Amino acid sequence: MPFWGLVPGLRAAMARSMNSATPRSGGAIAAVATYTFWGVLPIYFKLLQAVPALELIGWRIIWSLPVCLVVVVVMRQGAELRAVLASPALLLRLALSALFVGGNWLIYVTAVNAGHVLATSLGYYIIPLINVLLGTVFLGEKLGRLQWSAVAVASLGIGLLAWEALDMLAVAVVLGISFALYGYVRKVTPVGAVPGLTVETALLLLPAIGVVAWFGHQPAGSSFTTGWSTALLIASTGLITALPLLLFAYAAQRLDLSTLGFAQFITPSIGFLIGHFLFGEPLDTPRTVCFVLIWIALGLFSWDMLHKARMNSATKSPA
């Protein structure tokens, strides 16, 4: 069966997955899936360690755009995409978010391939605290006392790790700030997940083509031509880039920014495990204490959310 014959079934399946749950529960599922996927990405990028980071980012952008366009067709969101393209204000915001996410990709891949997976973990541990700050200061979101206690415990853990890893701190801070700002811009931009990511990758396409063309004219040539396995992994960057970002944008529009930020602890926790047990990066006492404190913070925050959800459910139940 040709691809276009599969479109109605794909469209129905994706629509069911988006609409079968309430907005908040659907956003929570999307957030967990996104952060778990991002957590295991160091393994993927280690397989592409021979590819220069800047060239790899260029290929990621180039291969992500076709994936986004296919999803636009499947979900019948062409009209929304055209509306975004016709709005200079929305294009300006998405150009800003594209710069943030593109810079974040470059820093992340460079750090992973240089053997600093724990530095990326530190960066992603910082992101939720930045999200809490952005959410409370700019979006009027409020945290309860127990949630603020969770913030304090997590801050203590991150402070301990930063004290013992000053050489990684610059990378971690830039990584954390860039993605937190990306999440904030997407949160306040009234554009759907699919059209928004499609426009972001389209805005980055010309620079990406220029980058891969430049590498192709270097003496070493393009990494895409070094072998079929490398070419396949590079081509797959479209899927591994676009799909989790679509889920992230979907979650960001349905969850409080502070809630979304704490769910993000999933990514660096997996990164810690991969960096230490798989890649052999040292896990000394301060890092271990940091890991424990952050999971305590997660427990406090999660318990508070669950308690409030049960209270709301009891209040809404018929007498």
CA-to-CA dists, residue 246 to 88, 144, 167, angstroms = 22, 30, 33
Residue 254 predicted with pLDDT over 50? yes
Q: Please, which pLDDT band fits residue 8 given cuts at 50, 70 and 90? A: low
Residue 7 predicted with pLDDT over 50? no
Domain boundaries, the chain: 22-312
Question: Do 161 and 271 meet the contact criterion of CB atoms below 8 Å apart?
Answer: no
Residues 78, 246: Cα–Cα separation, whole Å:
16
- What whole-number percentage of the chain has pLDDT above 70? 86
More confident residue, 307 or 85: 85
Instruction: Give per-residue pLDDT as tens, 90-133.
Output: 999 999 999 999 999 999 999 998 888 988 888 887 777 777 77
Residue 233 predicted with pLDDT over 80? yes
User: What's residue 17's pLDDT?
Assistant: 45
Average pLDDT in the 131-138 region? Answer: 77
Phi-psi region of 282 (alpha: psi -120 to 50; beta: other; left: phi over 0): beta
Residue 21 predicted with pLDDT over 50? no
Dihedral of CA 232/235/237/239: which sign? negative
User: What's residue 110's pLDDT?
Assistant: 93
Residue 296 predicted with pLDDT over 70? yes
User: What's residue 318's pLDDT?
Assistant: 53
More confident residue, 313 or 273: 273
Instruction: Give per-residue pLDDT as tens, 196-207.
Output: 989 999 999 999
Q: Please, which pLDDT band fits residue 244 given cuts at 50, 70 and 90? A: confident
Two tokens at 166?
Answer: 């000053």
CB burial of residue 235 (10 Å; 0-12, 13-18, 19+): middle
